[in-house]
Structures are given as structure tokens and as C-alpha cells.
Structure 1
Amino acid sequence: MNRLKKEEREYVIARVQEYFELERGEEIGELAADQLVQYMVNELGPFLYNKAIHDSRRMVEQKVMNLDEDLLSLERPAGRPKR
């Protein structure tokens, strides 16, 4: 979890410990919680990252399509009117 700030890492570890205590009735130490989080980041991280990239790409494509429509609406007729 080198990519997380110290405060973020501490927050996630605390949440894992809280989950184990509330949902499973188990106490888990900070080291065990940190190891579990690191494992989950390594295993799930690429899937979540790729999903975020896919979602971002779709959003950008929609924005570009809207921009293209906006630009087309600004076009003005050119040349002489037909008789």
C-alpha cells in the first residue's frame, strides 16, 4: 500500500479491524489487517483500476460526442442561397 498516504492506510486498516470485530466477532491486529489489505490491493487492485479506466473512457467519449454536437450546432450556412 505504498500508494496510499499514511493517514489513508491507517484509516483502511482501522476499517478492516472494525469489520472483523463487528461482522465476525473477531479481533484482528494491525499487522494482520495491514497484510490483508495489502493482499486485497494486490489481488483486486488491477480489476478495480481497469474498471475505473473503462468508466473514464466512456465518460470522455460521451463528453467528446456532446462537444462535437455543440460544435456542429455553431456552423453557419455558407455560400449563396439556392433559388
Structure 2
Amino acid sequence: MLINWKQEQKDQAIRDIQQFFYDERGEEIGIIAAENFLDFFAKQIGPHFYNQGVRDSQNVVRDRLAAVEDDLYALERK
């Protein structure tokens, strides 16, 4: 798995998945099925969210560096 879960976090995620299945589909799934579902999404879908987070972070850093460059340019003496 790509995520280093704290046990409490993983347990909560599993409970959330079980609750989702019950609320949305009226199905009760066990802990193993919920954990398999969590593992599948972490491996298959997680990288897409991670990569988008990296791209978003790059944009924030790029914008802040541009602002610093503008501030430094404003300090130059003519």
C-alpha cells in the first residue's frame, strides 16, 4: 500500500467504507471486504489524487516565487 496508515486511521477508513455501503446500497460488508476495497482504491485511484496534489503544490510555489521576484524587483534602486 502506498499510504502508511496509523492503525486508528485505517480502522476508521474501513468503518467509513462499511457505512457507505450500508447507506448507499443497503449492503453490509465485512471488515476484510472493506479493507480490500480500501487497498484497491489506495493503489488504483490514490496516485491520481496524489499527483494532482503535487501539481497544485507546484502552482502555489510557482505563484509565491513570482511574488517574491516582484517584491525583490521593487526593491531595486533606479
TM-score by length of 2: 0.92
CA RMSD of aligned residues (A): 1.1
Write the mapping of 1:36-55 to structure 2, written as runs, cut at 5 A.
36-55=37-56
**Alpha-carbon deviation of 1:7?**
1.0
Runs of 4+ with >2 A deviation: none
Long gaps (5+) in structure 1:
78-83
Match of 2:77, as an amino acid?
R
**Alpha-carbon deviation of 1:5?**
0.9
1:32-81 CA-to-partner distances (Å, cap 9, x unmatched) read 1001000111001111111111111011000000110111111112xxxx
1:80 corresponds in structure 2 to none
Write the mapping of 1:1-83 to structure 2, written as runs, cut at 5 A.
1=1, 3-77=4-78
Long gaps (5+) in structure 2:
none
**Alpha-carbon deviation of 1:28?**
0.6
Larger helix proportion, structure 1 or 2? 2
TM-score by length of 1: 0.87
The count of residues paired between Structure 1 and Structure 2 equals: 77
Match of 2:67, as an amino acid?
N
**Alpha-carbon deviation of 1:11?**
1.0
**Alpha-carbon deviation of 1:13?**
0.5
In 2, the alpha carbon distance for the partners of 1:26 and 1:46 equals 28
Compare relative contact order (CA 8 Å, sep 6+) and give the higher one, 1 or 2. 2
